[in-house]
Amino acid sequence: MELLETLAYRCGCDFLSDLNFRCLKKDFPPLLPHIVRHLLVEKWNCEEWRDAVHYITGEKIQRESQADYQAYLLNDWQMGRQHRPGSRPEVKMK
């Protein structure tokens, strides 16, 4: 099973697009960080991790290892950032 499919399945999503929707909902329990934290990262190659990061965050990044991609996702959540660039809070100028 591919990484994104695994994440969607473990989050209880019927469709892959549900995973993306749940990442955007502020009231959805933070299952995804817990699931990502406990994955066997070496099971999927760097390309699958890169695609998952892009799908979930909307950001195209390049990292050295699967563990680096996992850490990127976890740090993204720890910083409290909303996923997808267009959904992030705007900074108001004074």
Residue 54 reports pLDDT greater than 50: yes
Note the pTM of the prediction, 2 decimals.
Answer: 0.76
**Is the CB of residue 8 less than 8 Å from the CB of residue 19?**
yes
Is residue 39 a contact partner of residue 70, using CB atoms and an 8 Å limit?
yes
pLDDT at 40: 95
Tokens representing 2 are 């591919």
Q: Mind giving me the DSSP string for 32-89?
A: HHHHHHTS-GGGS-HHHHHHHHHHHHS-----SSHHHHHHHHHHHHHTTPPSSGGGSP
Report whether 64 contacts 28 (CB < 8 A). Answer: no
60-86: average pLDDT: 78
Reply yes or no on whether the pLDDT at 94 is more than 50. no
pLDDT over 50 (residue 89): no
